[in-house]
Amino acid sequence: MDSLGQKIRNLRKERKMTQLALARGLVTPSMISQIESDKATPSQELLEQLAARLGVKPSFFADDIHHKTDLVQAYRRAKQLMEAENYAAALPLLQTLTAPVPPQFREEVLFLDLAQCYERLQQYGDAANMYEEVVRASLERDDVPRAVHAYFHLGQLERRQSRWGVARMHWQRAAELLRRHPDLNMPIAMKIYANLGRIHMQLRQFEVALESYRRAVVLAERYQAQLDHAMILHGMGAAYIELGRYELGEDKLQEAIRIYDVIRHQRGINQCHVNIGIGLRRAGKFVEAKEKLSWCIEHREIRLDVLRLANALSERAACCLELEQWDEAIADAKEAVLLDKDTPELQLLARHTLAVAYMHKNEPQLALENANLGLQCSAETHDMTLVSGLYSVRAQALWALGDAASASADAIRVANMALSAY
């Protein structure tokens, strides 16, 4: 069925009239063009004047006006429901406007509204499909900023479901659009590069993470986004530590602490202090690292922050292990695994510490139990050094307990992991 605009255009062409002729004395030719493409709706008075000029009665368009008005009212109602956070009620109204999308509406706008409803209702698959439609429709109109925003939200959806590789793909596509359009002034670009930095850190791609963080930090300074600036510097510090560039890592963490302090972001301050301790341990400065981590553990603000406290305890336990302080290592690691049961990396490090310490204390059964508990977390981490270490300790424990066959199998596994690393 033809729309109102299509009917007016067809009648005009049947009468061999130009848009200029139809518009003369009433409106501009541009307005006629917008009406015919359903981007504008004529008033009742104008519609009567156009009908007279086209030689039809105004009633010829009555059904079209009513239909168009009904669609506009449905959309307005849906937006009101969204503003009231009643997404379940807004969703069916929006769905009625997309099969197909009426010509007076822009596809990408409707799809974006639908995506937001699905996302708020935690229907992530449907939300992702709608954001993909936003990207398609936006790029067809050369609306690059809207496509960048849609890619950002797609990445956020996938990150929420721990689908890191897919999230990275969407953010990389957004970053590619930004690179191809350097004139775009978009604060969200900072978040896209920061998220790419975090995800490359998660995947242990530290040099690539640094490159993303460098782009993000320039944008954070430009837009004076203090929290984002601190978090990006924080990420850069962690990346430098992972790459063995400990002094640079500590410098960036100290910069982050100064900004966190200005905006009173205590959790960020806490984690930066713990990360400085981690850097000292990674640098082989075990006594200094233990002192720094002890300061963290005794600090009032960190004692109130359970996750940061568990992190500091786990790291201090690893320092004690290197200093051959077996009982202290066991006490700290046991406390850490009880405080934070949900972080695989922490569980892996603490269980490794416990397994090694118990082997040194000649308690192979406890060493075996902790090695097995640590390996249960191995699927959720990319730290193969600790995983290999757990298999090695388990092999020693199994050998001490008389299970030579299982011990040999673990020893072979450790050797294969070492070979695959080269």
CATH code: domain of residue 377? 1.25.40
* pLDDT of 66 higher than 70: no
Q: How far is CA 87 from CA 79, 82, 91, 98, 152, in A?
A: 9, 5, 6, 17, 21
Give the confidence band of 63 by pLDDT, cuts at 50, 70, 90: low
Residue 13 lies in a domain: yes
Give the confidence band of 172 by pLDDT, cuts at 50, 70, 90: very high
Provide the residue range defining the domain that includes 350: 344-422
- When mean pLDDT is compared across 97-111, 255-269, 277-291, the lowest value belongs to 97-111
Q: CA 86, CA 357: separation in Å to the nearest integer?
A: 55
First to last CA, the chain: 67
Residue 299 lies in a domain: no
Residue with tokens 């290197």: 322
pLDDT at res. 8: 80
The answer to whether 101 and 107 are in contact (CB under 8 A) is yes
Alpha helices in 96-163 (DSSP H): 107-120, 124-140, 144-160
Mean pLDDT of 245-256: 97
Q: CA 125, CA 224: separation in Å to the nearest integer?
A: 35
Which residue would you say has higher pLDDT here, 2 or 160?
Answer: 160
Among the candidates 68, 83, 105, a domain finishes at 105
Q: Is the dihedral of CA 45, 50, 52, 53 positive or negative?
A: positive
pLDDT at res. 60: 67
* pLDDT of 421 higher than 80: no
Mean pLDDT of 372-382: 82
Mean pLDDT of 348-371: 96
- When mean pLDDT is compared across 24-38, 188-202, 308-322, 386-400, the lowest value belongs to 24-38
* pLDDT of 59 higher than 70: no
Residue 71 lies in a domain: yes
Mean pLDDT of 256-277: 96
Residue 175 lies in a domain: no
pLDDT at res. 61: 65
Which residue would you say has higher pLDDT here, 228 or 59?
Answer: 228
The answer to whether 297 and 309 are in contact (CB under 8 A) is yes
* pLDDT of 280 higher than 80: yes
CATH of the domain at 89: 1.10.260.40
Residue 399 lies in a domain: yes
* pLDDT of 389 higher than 70: yes
Q: CA 231, CA 385: separation in Å to the nearest integer?
A: 27
Give the confidence band of 382 by pLDDT, cuts at 50, 70, 90: low
Using DSSP's 3-state secondary structure scheme, residue 377 falls into coil
Mean pLDDT of 294-304: 94
Neighbours of 52 (CB within 10 A): 11
Among the candidates 105, 132, 151, a domain finishes at 105
* pLDDT of 71 higher than 80: no
Give the confidence band of 158 by pLDDT, cuts at 50, 70, 90: very high
* pLDDT of 5 higher than 90: no
Q: CA 193, CA 180: separation in Å to the nearest integer?
A: 15
Nearest to 52 by CA among 60, 43, 63: 60
Residue with tokens 């896209």: 192
Q: CA 174, CA 149: separation in Å to the nearest integer?
A: 8
Residue 132 lies in a domain: no
Using DSSP's 3-state secondary structure scheme, residue 56 falls into coil
Among the candidates 78, 105, 132, a domain finishes at 105
Q: CA 39, CA 106: separation in Å to the nearest integer?
A: 9
Give the confidence band of 62 by pLDDT, cuts at 50, 70, 90: low
Q: What is the amino acid identity at position 384?
A: M
Residue 18 lies in a domain: yes
Q: CA 172, CA 193: separation in Å to the nearest integer?
A: 9
pLDDT at res. 40: 66
Mean pLDDT of 115-134: 94
pLDDT at res. 68: 58
* pLDDT of 379 higher than 80: no
Q: CA 271, CA 167: separation in Å to the nearest integer?
A: 25
Number of compact structural domains in the chain: 2
Give the confidence band of 104 by pLDDT, cuts at 50, 70, 90: low
Q: What is the amino acid identity at position 346?
A: L
Q: Rounded to 5 degrees, what angle do the CA atoms 202, 203, 207 make? A: 100
* pLDDT of 64 higher than 60: no
Nearest to 171 by CA among 185, 191, 187: 191
Q: CA 396, CA 401: separation in Å to the nearest integer?
A: 9
Tell me the two tokens of residue 337.
């695994």
pLDDT at res. 107: 84
pTM of this prediction? 0.76
Residue 185 lies in a domain: no
* pLDDT of 422 higher than 70: no
